[in-house]
Amino acid sequence: MRDLPALDPGTPNTRSPAGYLRWIAGLHRGPLLLGMGYGILCMLAPALMPAAIGEAIDAGVGARDQGALLRWGAVVLLLGVVQAVAGILQDRSGVAASLGAAYRTLQLVTRQATRLGAALPKRLSTGDVVSAGVNDVVQIGGALEATGRAAGAVATIVVVTAIMLASSWQLGLVVLVGVPLMALAASLLIRPLHRRQGSVRAQQGELNSHAVDVVSGLRVLRGIGGEKAFEKRYHAESQRVRRAAARVARVEALLGGAKVLLPGLLVVVVVRLGAQHVLAGRITAGELVAFYGYAVFLATPLRRLTDAVDRFIRGHVAARQVVRFLTLEPEAAPVTGRARPHEPAALADPVSGVVAAPGRFTAVVCASPADADALADRLGGYTPSTVTYGGVPLHELPLDEVRRRVLVTDNDARLFSGSLRTVLDPAGRAGDAGEVWDRALDAASARDILEGLPGGLDGVVVGAGTEFSGGQRQRLRLVRALISDPEVLILVDPTSAVDAHTEARIAQRLHTARGGRATLVLTTSPLLLDRADHVLHVDAGEVVAAGTHDDLLADPRYRSVVTREEEAA
């Protein structure tokens, strides 16, 4: 099987689910056409067997000609070999098209998730993203894989009907009318199946989201005694999905029964009429056997065609979700390609008046946590804003340049699974340089975590770091940020989950570790504020006071935020 391309997946057709399926099919037209050709050959070979068997009966058994019997027996054997070889090649081509479509769709989903960035969790639930990247890609691949079987089924039905019409127009007419009627009867079940499959797909996405929430927050749930409540909630929702899936299964069961019943009725009609034709002398016994074989055999292409339609429907439902995901737009404005600053520069937010200057450790105290979140999103380029870097509007710089120069780390930043080394240094910036690791670990007061993990830096982090406490995860996130060493580092409450002694060590060492770089910390921690070069007090989205921590303590508004005191009315 040929290697799948590890390249840019291209620009998909996202105007409609059908358009996306046509686009993805066009990219894999080679395997698809081969699969269709092999599928036709694989189905035509057994379709011609009844004719060969009928000739063997008439020319060999009926005429007592051993040579004719052997010749037609050899023809049957040859058709069997052709069917086997063509079936293998059809499956090979179908799997190639299926894997190619699934792999390319997964590339597109991953690229879009990266492109959306911080906007992704605001637009879609975790379950929808998981379903798109796991279930939907499989269904789209399955739709392409079914094309070969569908083509073989259609070609076989046409050829068999033509042969039967040529042999006996009455029996051929029965098949010609009966097959469309069976297809119509099956289509009456396919429409509700399509609708119910779409409903189940949406409910499964919601259930996946709740499962992710429970798993990621299990430690917190146990701490507050809420695991039983969430267990009951998940049980109720999973039962709702089960009932919806059972409704789909009922329709699928009816469809499966129709696949057996309808062709069976056609066989009964054809055999009865054929027997009457034999008694009347209009056809031979061998032709009757051939007609019986045709009627029985037609159940196979009809079943394959119905299965293919079912897989096409599943693929269409999955493509609708993928298209919905791929058409989402990030919140940040598109890049226009302005010149990039060559040297580290100041990151400034004209709306609030906050400035992160090179070489300065700046702390920002926000009266409202919402103001802190909004400020971090603007400074990081995650939402449209008038923020500038070196005088250049941030949204006019290439996105990869912004991400390289400006890093925002908050308490929602995830730790991924893998070795601790790759989790903390995914880009390999530190490598094996001991001094880089020492400086980052000491600054974040995280050396005890490293020493407690079997294998040290090569120890495995599982479950996105859920085996660590909240404070340990917070310190590891700080290590990762320090190793990245961006020109501007924005930290949101980096010590909110650690004890006072650890916080004091971090506050003392962080300033030194970031020497020469711009560091902006959104915090209300007096320990961090006391170590800052410059402190900004933001109220109602604007800087209302600036100075050192000691100077600003004289301001009652500032003091009420950092010391949690209530101002007199």
Say how many CA atoms lie within 13 Å of 268 toward its Cβ: 6
Contact 394, 402 (CB under 8 A): yes
Q: What is the pLDDT of residue 332?
A: 56
The whole-angstrom separation of Cα 264 and Cα 259 is 9
Question: 256-273 burial string, b = 16+ CB within 10 Å, else e?
Answer: bebbeebbeebbeebbeb
Q: What is the pLDDT of residue 202?
A: 63
Q: What is the pLDDT of residue 229?
A: 66
Out of 51-65, 306-320, 523-537, least confident range: 51-65
Question: Which sign does the torsion angle of CA 199, 204, 205, 206 carry?
Answer: positive
* Higher pLDDT among residues 438 and 64, named by residue: 438
Q: Please report, for residues 235, 349, 352, 565, the alpha-carbon distance to residue 541 in angstroms, rounded to integers and kept in the order given.
A: 43, 11, 6, 21
The whole-angstrom separation of Cα 85 and Cα 103 is 27
Q: What is the pLDDT of residue 215?
A: 56
Contact 135, 241 (CB under 8 A): no
Residue-wise pLDDT for 259-302, tens only, equals 677 777 777 777 777 777 777 777 777 777 777 777 777 777 87
Average pLDDT of span 103-126: 78
Give kind and range of the element (H or E) at residue 489.
strand 488-492
Question: Which sign does the torsion angle of CA 438, 440, 445, 450 carry?
Answer: negative
Average pLDDT of span 179-194: 66
* Higher pLDDT among residues 422 and 242, named by residue: 422
Task: Give 445's pLDDT tier (boundaries 50, 70, 90).
Answer: very high
Average pLDDT of span 47-66: 74
Q: What is the pLDDT of residue 193?
A: 65
* Higher pLDDT among residues 337 and 322, named by residue: 322
**Mean of the per-residue pLDDT values of the chain:** 80
Contact 349, 378 (CB under 8 A): yes
Average pLDDT of span 224-245: 70
307 has pLDDT over 70 = yes
Residue ranges and CATH numbers for the domains of the chain are 17-203+246-326 (1.20.1560.10), 347-414+471-562 (3.40.50.300)
Nearest to 488 by CA among 372, 400, 356: 356
Average pLDDT of span 334-359: 79
**Percent of the chain at pLDDT exceeding 90:** 20
The whole-angstrom separation of Cα 233 and Cα 231 is 5
DSSP state string for 379-410: HTTSS----EETTEEGGGS-HHHHHHHEEEE-
Question: Which sign does the torsion angle of CA 267, 271, 277, 282 carry?
Answer: positive
Residue-wise pLDDT for 427-444, tens only, equals 887 776 678 888 999 999
Q: What is the pLDDT of residue 313?
A: 82
Residue-wise pLDDT for 506-537, tens only, equals 999 998 899 889 999 999 999 999 999 999 99
Task: Give 4's pLDDT tier (boundaries 50, 70, 90).
Answer: very low
